[in-house]
């Protein structure tokens, strides 16, 4: 299994380390615009995996060295600061980066599965899908997998049940319009009631990442574990169900936009895109998420089609 990580900043570096530590790749290629950074990380990670029972070749490389990748993980992005308060502020710069990089990457690895981590997550996932020409099943954004994990961790403390045993999803945009689909939340088959305190947890879960970001200037550990879960399900064909950002087609009255819904992930990418029956209120929130993401897609689309400024 050859995996290429594109963009070796705080997030890409952590993602690469987690994948190498867990033996999810036989070959791991690190690409960065400043190659010296990728080279230093490759050396450091290669030395670190001497402590684990896996054989992994970790190396830096140019775009050409990513050729034949089974999985490509996009962590590249414009430089941001902890003062930013809206992922959409990065849309223009990161869309331009994808227009430059994605055609080269897919030419080198036409059969790869692409996992996008770059924000604004749903907008960039949509543009990557458009640029790549890949089937929608092979372009996956980490989406609300991270938000759902944060929500489950908070909910776990209240109900006294391990987060893994809580079947509760945050859906829609990985951003301000995300919402918890509490109408379908279950634990052991029992519904999880949508109490006022649990509704407040939704906002706390959404804001917790910004608190970390404002202090550290980035978030990396939860993101890396989300990527690890997706890659593990791909490599071992585990068919885990998780909320990830994919192309939506005729769900809750929404089409032609990338948002997070529960998906079954395996060796070929998305094996199934599930369609849970949401409440009327949740359907409306899903539609609002779609409208929010679509506005940014339309704003940045001229960068992709080449008529920006015309």
E-strand stretches of the chain: 2-6, 27-31, 57-60, 71-74, 113-116, 139-141, 170-171, 179-180, 186-187, 190-191, 240-248, 257-266, 269-273
Among candidate residues 123, 59, 109, 73, the one with its CA nearest the CA of residue 231 = 73
Catalytic residues: 174
Strand partners, 180: 170
Q: What's the CA gap between 253 and 271, in Å, rounded?
A: 22
Q: What's the CA gap between 279 and 292, in Å, rounded?
A: 20
Q: What's the CA gap between 51 and 24, in Å, rounded?
A: 15
Q: What's the CA gap between 95 and 182, in Å, rounded?
A: 33
Inter-residue contact 66 to 103 (CB < 8 Å) = no
Inter-residue contact 301 to 98 (CB < 8 Å) = no
Strand partners, 262: 243
Among candidate residues 173, 168, 175, the one with its CA nearest the CA of residue 153 = 168
Among candidate residues 232, 261, 234, the one with its CA nearest the CA of residue 249 = 261
Residue 15's alpha-carbon distances to 18, 54, 146, in angstroms, are 5, 17, 14
Task: Phi first, then psi: give them for residue 302, nearest 5 degrees.
Answer: -60, -25
């Amino acid at each position: 299994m050859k995996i290429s990580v594109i963009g070796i900043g705080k997030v890409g570096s952590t993602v690469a380390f987690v994948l190498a530590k867990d033996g999810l790749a036989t070959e791991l290629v690190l690409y960065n615009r400043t190659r010296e950074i990728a080279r230093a990380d490759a050396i450091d990670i290669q030395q670190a995996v001497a402590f684990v029972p896996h054989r992994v070749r970790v190396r830096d490389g140019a775009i050409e060295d990513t050729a034949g990748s089974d999985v490509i993980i996009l962590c590249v992005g414009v430089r941001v600061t902890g003062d930013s308060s809206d992922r959409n502020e990065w849309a223009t710069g990161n869309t331009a980066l994808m227009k430059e990089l994605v055609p080269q990457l897919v030419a080198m690895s036409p059969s790869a599965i692409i996992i996008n981590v770059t924000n604004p997550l749903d907008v960039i996932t949509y543009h990557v899908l458009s640029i790549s020409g890949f089937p929608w099943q092979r372009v996956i954004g980490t989406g609300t997998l991270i938000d759902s994990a944060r929500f489950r961790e908070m909910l776990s403390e209240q109900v006294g049940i391990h987060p893994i045993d809580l079947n509760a999803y945050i859906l829609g945009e990985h951003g301000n319009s995300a919402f918890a689909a509490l109408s379908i939340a279950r634990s052991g088959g029992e519904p999880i009631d949508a109490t006022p305190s649990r509704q407040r947890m939704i906002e706390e879960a959404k804001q917790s990442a910004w608190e970390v970001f404002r202090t550290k200037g980035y978030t990396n550990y939860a993101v890396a574990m989300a990527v690890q879960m997706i890659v593990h399900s791909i490599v071992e064909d585990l068919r885990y169900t998780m909320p990830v950002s994919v192309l939506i087609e005729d769900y809750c009255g929404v089409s032609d936009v990338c948002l997070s819904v529960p998906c079954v992930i395996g060796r070929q990418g998305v094996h199934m895109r599930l369609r849970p029956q949401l409440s009327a209120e949740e359907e409306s929130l899903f539609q609002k998420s779609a409208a929010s993401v679509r506005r940014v897609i339309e704003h940045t689309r001229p960068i992709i089609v080449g008529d920006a400024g015309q």
